[in-house]
Structure 1
Amino acid sequence: MIRPSAIERALHGLVDLHCHSGPNPLPRRFDHVGAAADGARLGMRALLAKSHHHNTVMDLLAMRDRLAPLSTAVYGGIALNNQVGGINPYAVEMCLRMGGRCVWFPTISSRAHIDHHNSGGGFPKPTIPLSLAQVDVRGPDGALLPEVGRVLDVIAESGALLSAGHMAPEDILEVFAAARDRGVKRMVVSHPNFVIGSDPAQCREFIRLGAYIEHETSMYDPEVAQARWSARQLLDWIEQVGPEHTVLASDLGQAGRPMPVDSFIRVGSALLDLGLPEKDLRRIVRVNPSYLLGLDD
């Protein structure tokens, strides 16, 4: 009998909270069904299909018959960019009450994202002409918009995951503080060192509000042309904020980039080689994201 390797043991049952499968206005390598089928190679438990432009729950309902035979469950959500009307509690209500599991606050429409990419940060171009407008979470007086509170109430009611999207750190802090006060239990900050511009000390402030810190294999994978950092730097982040507060996701699905499973294997193996305990890798790819997606309630 062939025994599973350490990386196979650690990654079996993983949950990917950041999969950019299609359909989408940005070029994608595979659709949601293809993502789930590939996940079966590692016994992936579930993935969260993310679009910057639309409510992915509707995609999944349309693909229900194709997804049903697959062992990897796929969940959807909504990103509050200008294509869905920005901070739109009505769109959030429909998404979550039809089975959505996540609300991403502004990503490509956030001030931080627009500032970053206008200064040469680079981002894939859509396959169709699309207008981009900034979506703010604050009004002219600097206070959070009333719609933010309404969105947070729907998230709390549904037990869904609140993602900081690509907001600036000061906006994340205020939105997360309001979310905690309104009963939101699940919060995550993705790639804090990319676009958002946060550091471990600031991330510990997010953690005190109940958040988890998510890193993306695509940003540490040596086979991704746009990878920015090494596995050693990722390990340093994990050690500074703690594996109990860390999530590892893929942020993959784009045309011309690796399959998520392959990237998880490469980055996970590098972390194990650097001395990360197998139990800690299992925690950041399986235990923590399972909780955030509400799979173990």
Structure 2
Amino acid sequence: MNKLLRGIYDLHAHAAPDVVPRKCDDLELACRLTDAGMAGCCIKCHFAETAARAALLQAQFPTLRIAGGIALNRAVGGLNPHAVERCGQLGGKFVWFPTLEARAFQCYRHSSEPEADLSDYLAVCGEDGRLLPAALEVLDAAAENRMVIATGHIGTEEGMALVKAGADRGLQMVLTHADNPANAYSVEQQRQAVALGALVEHSFFTTYYDRTPIGEITRQIRAVGCENVLLTTDFGQPDSPYADEGMTQYGTLLLRQGFTLDEWRVMTRDNPSRLLR
């Protein structure tokens, strides 16, 4: 059995059914994780909750730990505390703030189109830089249901405001793929988030698709410490490797960068286990 995969998680995986083509469906993903000796995953969808899917999959694969959650894009009402509450009651574990429909993300995508009207996309802070009341209501609903808050694709200043407010409520926070150029958190911001109890996520997606070199990932991990880092794939694209293949490739590259097998397991086994508890 692959020593890199034994007992680890991928808490950022996309699978079918989805509104876009995916590499595999939930069943194939779970079968592959089981065969690889992995401990589990979190299924993410940008446009629908995945708690119900995770529950069905969990029943069929009792040796795995399968988590689901909800991404706060327009299909679920955006910053909708009622959707968060119901997802939590279904057993959902993760709340991702707006992802593909975050206004900051769309500004990045349309950076060469200054005339583009992006007003219909989702912001988390008002013009004064303060979190919107609906964002605070979402945090309260997540706290009530013991859910983990991930920043999604919102801007870094919005993300830091969210981390601070979440920490005030005792929530576990995650900086979603913090090295992604679309919402890249500086090392100083990562350190500030870690000081408030957040984990910093690095997804292999950004390295595999030549957006962030593995050397830069290494620099950022070393700056905050392995004990504060979560490693995932963010895979599920039709042309990507499977999640288990992606984690193998990620681990191989990081070991070549000087990380130990124990450090790898902290970031892929111990820290994910803490989130799922």
The alpha-carbon distance between structure 1 residues 274 and 183, as it changes in their structure 2 partners (threshold 3 A), is closer
Tell me how far apart the structure 1 counterparts of residues 245 and 207 of structure 2 sit (CA, whole Å): 13
Instruction: Find the partner of 2:46 among 27, 52, 55.
Output: 52
Q: Please tell me the root mean square deviation across aligned C-alpha atoms, in Å.
A: 2.0
Q: CA deviation at 1:31?
A: 1.4
Contact 2:179 2:217 (8 Å CA) reproduced: no
User: How far did residue 32 of structure 1 move?
Assistant: 1.6
Deviations 1:218-277 (A, max 9, x none): 2223xxxx2323322222221111101111101001112111111111120121122211
Letter in structure 2 aligned against 1:215: H
Q: Which amino acid aligns with 1:259?
A: Y
Change (3 A) 1:170 1:229: closer
Please, which runs of 5 or more residues in structure 1 have no aligned partner? 121-130
Aligned to 2:64: 72
| Counterpart position of 1:170 | 157
Say which is worse superposed, 281-290 or 39-48, in terms of deviation: 39-48
Residue 64 of structure 1, CA deviation = 4.3
Task: Verify: 1:204 aligned to 2:191, yes or no.
Answer: yes
SS in 2 for 1:39: helix
Partner Cα separation in structure 2 for residue 208 and residue 40 of structure 1: 35
Give CA deviations for 1:32-65 in whole Å, capped at 9, x if unaligned: 221111112331111010111111113334x448
Corresponding residue pairs, total:
271
Give the corresponding residue for 1:13. 7
**C-alpha separation in 1, matches of 2:92 and 2:272:** 15
Q: Which runs of 5+ in 2 are unaligned?
A: 113-117
Deviations for 1:105-139, whole angstroms, at most 9, x for unmatched residues? Answer: 1111212210121237xxxxxxxxxx994112234
Provide closer, same or farther for how the CA distance between residues 282 and 89 of structure 1 changes in structure 2, counting only shifts above 3 A. Answer: same
Work out the CA distance in 2 between the residues paired with 1:55 and 1:135.
18
User: Match for residue 24 of structure 2?
Assistant: 30
Q: Residues 42 and 136 of structure 1: is their aligned pair in 2 closer, same or farther, counting only changes over 3 Å? A: same
TM (norm. structure 2) is: 0.91
Per the alignment, residue 124 of structure 1 pairs with none
Is residue 174 of structure 2 the alignment partner of residue 188 of structure 1? yes
* Aligned ranges 1:105-120 → 2 under 5 Å: 105-119=97-111
- Does the 8 Å contact 1:29/1:253 carry over to 2? yes
TM-score (ref. length: structure 1): 0.85
Which runs of structure 2 are paired with 1:206-245 in the superposition (5 Å)?
206-221=193-208, 226-245=209-228
Displacement of 1:172: 1.1
- Give, in whole Å, the separation in 2 of the partners of 1:213 and 1:69: 29
Check conservation: 1:11, 1:286, Cα contact below 8 A: no
